[in-house]
Amino acid sequence: MNEARGTTDDDAVAELQSIRQSIDNIDAAVIHMLAERFKYTQRVGYLKAAAGMPAADPSREQIQVARLRALAAESHLDPAFAEKFLNFIVAEVIHHHERIAVGEL
Please write down the HEC assignment for all residues of 39-66: HHHHHHHHHHHHHCCCCCCHHHHHHHHH
Residue 1 has pLDDT above 90, yes or no: no
Taking only the tens place, the pLDDT of each residue in 49-92 is: 999 999 999 999 999 999 999 999 999 999 999 999 999 999 99
Q: Give how far the C-alpha of residue 30 lies from the chain's centroid of Cα atoms, to the nearest Å.
A: 7
Distances (CA, A) of 66 to 59, 72, 84: 11, 10, 12
pLDDT above 90 for 27:
yes
Domain limits, the chain: 34-101
Please say if the pLDDT value at position 4 is more than 70: no
- Residue 7 banded pLDDT, cuts 50, 70, 90: low
C-alpha–C-alpha distance, residues 26 and 29, integer Å: 5
- The architecture of the domain spanning 34-101 is Up-down Bundle (1.20)
Q: Which pLDDT score is estimated for 8?
A: 81
pTM of the prediction? Answer: 0.83
